[in-house]
A and B are shown apart, each in its own frame.
Chain A
């Protein structure tokens, strides 16, 4: 049994099926990190490849970060967490930079890190269903989406639409995710999921991730190009103060700050800024408390 199943069909489409062994759901643990790095290297070297489908063998797509593991983080020693974050970000960056179209085949819940994988794909197709939950709930754990989620959601939706989602950590079923632009297509079942994924790959053989395109502009603009963005960024500290009765916790502060700063630099610079804010959160008392509650509830 393997953590990642790699299958190439006659059309040159490679399906990568995530199936992290020994656990009911896929999470961003060591097995995932070594697996995704190896898979992306293999995809980069694969001859005759025409497209990639990222899928899951579990009943869900991907559960997100390994919360139990993250509970061991200590502010005194963030180095291993920095290395781990780099080792997650790098293959996802390489995945979206492949010269062939990459589709996320979302069969079930894709939350947190799971949805960040989807954001690193070029196209997201999800099964329509109440259990197919989509979103970046990191803020509810006292964290931020540190695998490129802040950066990619802002660049996909624009700051105005992305910030409320990032700050609230709202999770939604796939039909709502379609309306909000978090997924691109809905399908009825697993068969249609893969049929549509193949069809999209064939229809978009030269697709390039929008933010990898020369001349790409962030939807809704930036501080420099749109006064409305400045107006929003000026309002948020007041709105958050009201929401948290004057004591804004570290996570919303870091989410707002990283999203705002991400507009001012290029994509790779933005990823670095996100990493810094993410690391500043993982060992805070707020994150520990919320992550502990999450783990205990799941038991």
Chain B
């Protein structure tokens, strides 16, 4: 008999502007992550020696974030030295991958208590810091038809006929929803304020959210990927998808924000939860990860969702709430259109356009957020999904308990 993988707790840091002057720029990524470990330990009165593994997503595991930050943060936080840790990189899916891996460890029966999560200090270790052949080695780039992600997002918008106004409206809604959720205090129980070594508050609120976001202000922003398109990358997608032109609709305003942040979930078997006196928030019903067209790159959420639904024996109608990572507006809009899901069910408290996308942590944040919202609304199933670099998709289905 399979052991269910239960989710017992979820915490995250605020998401702060990922640049100098941002609320968490002066905090090292190891400190961000260790702070959450302390919070998880204290909230659950956790004997950390019982944790079988700590699985942490981090997409730029170099410099401040290098050398297996999962293990380092654990010993930094004073967790039991017998508890190991591993850092995982599956690009923007990393924070999903860690939860999914934790669920697999538990469902296999080989581990009983696993901490999953992610961290990314994008202000300190910028995107693409780990290099790699994909974009940096021309022979590889030409062979695999690499184009910058934003070109892929603009290509999706072009193919689907999403106008600049469409994607801006989507972005504005993300901000308004996030602002309303913050105002209503929906994130209060899960955000752990970041404090310094003396206990003084450093940051306790998501910084990017703009309650006054408007079509007018969004409309003023310049297209981010026009230049790289004009440079020549447009030709690659035009030839591949037979498009006369590319409509460059994505701007910093309707793409995910660059932020610093971290998240952690505590997963375990039912037996371990009972032993520790923990009440489950939910269970992981199914997970899926797929490869997809690496050139357009961002269409993985749909096949990943179908695969996860099939494994779960559920249909798309069974899902009450969705979190579809807002890497770019067109990605989430394409998901809604292709899967026939109403926006009333998708990213109901805003997404990465409003709050930011700390690459290694976002997936964990979405899974935690959907569980909280299912509980608030008294609903059952949530599905979280994201597009992933180099053409992949990932999904996690949870059931609230």
B334 near A: Cβ within 8 Å?
no
> How far apart are the CA atoms of A270 and B26 in the complex, in Å?
7
A265 near B: Cβ within 8 Å?
yes
Q: Mask for B173-212, Cβ within 8 A of A = 1, else 0?
A: 0000000000000000000000011111000000000000
Q: Which of A239-275 touch B at CB < 8 Å?
A: 261, 264-266, 268-269, 272-273
> How far apart are the CA atoms of A264 and B20 in the complex, in Å?
10
Residue in A82, A273, A279 whose beta carbon sits within 8 Å of that of B26 in the complex: A273
> How far apart are the CA atoms of A266 and B25 in the complex, in Å?
9
Q: Which of B10-43 touch A at CB < 8 Å?
A: 20-21, 25-26, 28
Chain B interface, DSSP helix/strand/loop, else mixed? loop
> How far apart are the CA atoms of A115 and B359 in the complex, in Å?
43
User: A22: shortest Cβ distance to chain B, in Å?
Assistant: 32
Given contacts A265-B124, A273-B26, 14 further A-B contacts (CB under 8 A): A78-B198, A223-B63, A261-B26, A264-B64, A264-B124, A265-B26, A266-B20, A266-B21, A268-B21, A269-B21, A276-B197, A277-B197, A279-B198, A279-B200
- CB neighbours of A276 from chain B (8 A): 196-198, 200
User: B18: shortest Cβ distance to chain A, in Å?
Assistant: 13
- CB neighbours of B197 from chain A (8 A): 276-277, 280
Nearest A residue (CB) for B63: A224
Q: Mask for A210-225, Cβ within 8 A of B = 1, else 0?
A: 0000000000000110
- CB neighbours of B26 from chain A (8 A): 261, 265, 269, 272-273
Nearest B residue (CB) for A264: B124
- CB neighbours of A266 from chain B (8 A): 20-21, 25
> How far apart are the CA atoms of A78 and B200 in the complex, in Å?
9
- CB neighbours of B200 from chain A (8 A): 78, 82, 276, 279
> How far apart are the CA atoms of A261 and B20 in the complex, in Å?
14
B20 touches A265 (CB 8 A): yes
Ranked nearest first, the 5 interchain pairs of A and B with the lowest CB-CB distance are A266-B20, A276-B196, A269-B26, A279-B198, A272-B26
> How far apart are the CA atoms of A168 and B253 in the complex, in Å?
50
A280 touches B198 (CB 8 A): yes
User: A30: shortest Cβ distance to chain B, in Å?
Assistant: 22
- CB neighbours of B198 from chain A (8 A): 78, 82, 276, 279-280
> How far apart are the CA atoms of A272 and B196 in the complex, in Å?
10
Q: Mask for B53-70, Cβ within 8 A of A = 1, else 0?
A: 000000000011000000
Interface centre among B28, B63, B198 (most CB of A within 10 A): B198
B28 touches A269 (CB 8 A): no
Nearest A residue (CB) for B62: A224
User: A246: shortest Cβ distance to chain B, in Å?
Assistant: 18
